[in-house]
Amino acid sequence: MGIKCPQCGTENLEGALFCDECGASLSDVGVEAEKAEATPVEVEQPQELPQVAVGKACPSCGHINPEDARFCENCGSALEEEIKVTPPPPTVVTAKLVTADGVEIELDFGSKSELLIGRADPVSRVFPDVDLTPHGGYEAGVSRRHCIIRYSGGKFTVEDLESTNGTKLNGKFIPPKVPQPLNDGDELVLGALVLKFHCK
Domain boundaries in the chain?
A: 3-35, 52-84, 95-199
pLDDT digits (tens, 9 = 90+) for 24-39: 777 765 545 554 455 5
pLDDT for position 15: 73
Q: How far is Cα 57 from Cα 52, in angstroms, rounded to an integer?
A: 12
pLDDT for position 89: 64
Mean pLDDT by 10 residues, the chain (200 residues): 76 76 71 51 59 71 83 83 59 86 93 94 94 96 97 94 97 97 97 95
pLDDT for position 47: 61
Q: How far is Cα 157 from Cα 180, in angstroms, rounded to an integer?
A: 5
Domain covering 95-199 assigned CATH 2.60.200.20 in the classification: yes
Answering whether pTM is above 0.85, one says: no
Pairing of strands 114-118, 130-131: parallel
In sequence order, the 6+-apart residues with CB closer than 8 A to the CB of 182 are 149, 156, 157, 158, 169, 188, 197
